[in-house]
Homo-oligomer: A and B are copies of this chain.
Amino acid sequence: MYNILIIEDEKPISDFINLSLRAMGYGCEQVYDGEEAADKILEKRYSLILLDIMLPKANGFELMEFIRPMEIPVIFLTAKASVQDKVKGFKLGADDYLTKPFQIEELQVRIENVLRRYYKTDEILTYKDISVNVSSHKITKGEKEIPLTEKEFKLLVLFISNKNLALFREQIYEKVWDREYIGDSRTVDMHIQRLRKKLDLYDQLVSVFKVGYRLEE
């Protein structure tokens, strides 16, 4: 999970960013001036810093010099739009630059880009010779790529993340279908079938009578 530090003195803007990023699944913290920022950065390793240029007690450029040696990616956030500023920012090691006001979607895209560039973490789950690239939704068994449908994919991820656990149909349904399970439906069973068939998991993805299914190590 990524942790983002928001350094921005205008509270409404900061709060707005905070909420939006949290909604996207990022962990966020907010600070409102340069000193607080420095403290926070020393105390914890952030994945990314969003940095406003105009700040009380140390401006963004100064802070940038402070951050740079730590090799944390930084996106500048500012009302200043001059080319000189941009150049200065990039020279100091900024990874991106966003001019206020901006659409939150744009910020999201930039964050994702920066994080991908920086961390290149394709989350990959594996089970025996099956590997699941969660980010790209690609599944391979051995060398071969096996296309899975959405539900099959979610099922597989669920089971691999819960190896050896007997999962109740109810749990499965609520996780994969994301809504309440109203007893007695064969839907889960059917999809288990299909998953077994596509990945030849007949002996591994076993039924637990009266309970549900389990993926065996």
For chain A, which range describes its interface: under 10, 10 to 19, 20 to 34, or 35 or more residues?
A: 20 to 34
Which of A164-172, A186-194, A196-204 participates in binding chain B? A164-172
- The smallest beta-carbon distance between A127 and chain B, in angstroms, is 15
Report if A210 contacts B (CB, 8 A).
yes
Question: Which residue of B135, B150, B164 contacts A136 across the interface (Cβ within 8 Å)?
Answer: B164
Contact among B22, B92, B113, B136 for A166, CB-based, below 8 A? B136
Docked CA distance A171–B138 (Å): 18
Which chain B residues lie closer than 8 Å to A149 at the CB level?
209-210
Q: Give residues 83-140 of A contacting B (CB, 8 Å).
A: 91-93, 113, 120, 122, 135-138
* CB of A172 to closest CB in B, whole Å: 12
Q: A135-B166, A166-B137 are in contact. Are A93 and B150 (CB under 8 A)?
A: no
A-B contacts, 25 listed (Cβ < 8 Å): A22-B68, A22-B92, A22-B93, A23-B91, A27-B68, A27-B69, A29-B69, A113-B171, A120-B162, A122-B164, A122-B165, A135-B164, A135-B165, A135-B166, A136-B164, A136-B165, A136-B166, A137-B166, A137-B208, A137-B211, A137-B214, A138-B164, A138-B166, A149-B209, A150-B210
